[in-house]
Amino acid sequence: MHHTKIAGIGFYVPEHTVTNHDLMRHMDTSDEWIQERSGIVERRFAKRHEETTSVLGAKAARIAIERAGITPADVDFIIFATLSPDYFFPGCGVLLQRELGITHTEIGALDIRNQCSGFVYGLTVGDQFIRSGMYKNILLVGAEVHSMGLDYSTRGRNVTVLFGDGAGAVVLQPTDEQNQGILTSKLHSDGTHAEQLAFINPGCHSGYHDKETDFGYDESVEFGGLFLTQKMMDEGMTFPTMDGQLVFKTAVTKFPEVIKEVLDDQGLTPADIDLFIPHQANLRISQFVQKKLGLPDDKVWNNIQRYGNTTAATIPIALCEAWEAGKVKKGDLICIAAFGSGFTWGASLIRW
C-alpha cells in the first residue's frame, strides 16, 4: 500500500493589511485588548469584487502545483475546505477547477465543511484516496474570505477582531518510501454545542433547533425564501456567533487529547515532534497546548499575529511559511492539529 506525501505546497494572502488600530475606527476596541485576548496584531482582507474564496484558493493552488512539478491538467481530484464559500451552492471545488482551467478533464471535486478542522479532515480523506490507489495527484485547498461577512460594529467585536482572509494548498501524491508522508490521522466531533460557534442566519432551519429564541418569525408567512426576518437584521443575528469561554475551555482539552492519540498510535511522544503547527485560532490556546506538550518555542509555528484566524486555511498557510523558512526538513516529524465549529477536531502526523 502506498503512503501519502505532500509533494507541493503554497499559500496566498491578500495584499491589504488591516491592523488592530484600523479596526478601532469602526468599533470600541484597542490594540492592547485584542492582543491580550488573541495575540493578533493584524490580518489580511480580500479585495471586494475581485478576490473570492475560490480565487484565493486558486492562487495558492498554482504555487503548490508548480512546486510539485506537475501542471493543473495532472490534478485528478480536488478537495476544497472552507466555511466561507463563494455561493451556498455549488461549492468552491468546481469554481477552483474553473479558475485553474481544467474543466475539460471532468475530475471529481469534493467540498469539506468542517470549518477550522477542514484542512485536517481534507488531508485525511485525500490520504485514503492515495493509499487506495484511486488517485495520484490530489489538490487539497483550505481558503477563507471572512471579511465579507463580519459585524464591524462594537456589537460584533468579540468575533470580528479574530478573523482574516487567506488560502493554503498542498498536492498529495503516493510514495513508496518507508516511514514517509502521512503516518496517521484521528478525527472527532461532538454536535452537542453546535450553535455556540456558528453562523446561523440566514438559513433553512426555520428556528427548529432553537425554539426558545425569538427570531421574529411571522407564522402567517407559510412559504418563501430563507429564514430571514427584520428582527434578525436589526439585532445582528445574521453574523457569526461564538461562546468564547466554552470554545476556549473545550479546545484546550481536545487539542492535547487528539495529539496524544496520534502519537500513541505511532508509539511516539511529544519529544519526537520536530515541529508542531496548531490551527491558528488563538495564541493563548496554542501556548497552552504547547506548554501541555512540553515543547520549546522553536518547535512550534504560530503566525496568528500576522494573519488572524483564517480557519481552514491556517494550517496550510503556517505549514508553507515554516517550510519556506527552512523549519520543515526531510525526515522531520510534523504534527498538525485543529479544533473548531461543530465541534470538530483532529490531528495528523506527517514524516516530511
Active site (annotated) includes residue 116: yes
Q: Is the dihedral of CA 32, 150, 245, 118 positive or negative?
A: negative
Whether the Cβ atoms of residue 160 and residue 151 lie closer than 8 Å to each other = yes
Catalytic residue among 92, 309, 320, 335: 309
**Cell numbers for 170:** 498542498
β partners of residue 122:
none
Catalytic residue among 116, 201, 320, 335: 116
Containing 247, the helix (H) or strand (E) segment is helix 244-265
**Cell numbers for 18:** 488591516
**Cell numbers for 212:** 426558545
For 152-181, b/e burial (b = at least 16 CB within 10 A) is: eeeebbbbbbbbbbbbbbbbbbbbeeeebb
Catalytic residue among 3, 114, 279, 282: 279
**Cell numbers for 165:** 482572509
What is the rounded distance in angstroms from the CA atom of residue 311 to the CA atom of residue 309? 5
- Residue pointed to by grid coordinates 453562523: 199
What is the rounded distance in angstroms from the CA atom of residue 298 to the CA atom of residue 75? 35
Active site (annotated) includes residue 309: yes
Q: What is the largest CA-CA distance in the chain?
A: 65
Whether the Cβ atoms of residue 140 and residue 59 lie closer than 8 Å to each other = no
Write out the catalytic residue numbers.
Answer: 116, 279, 309
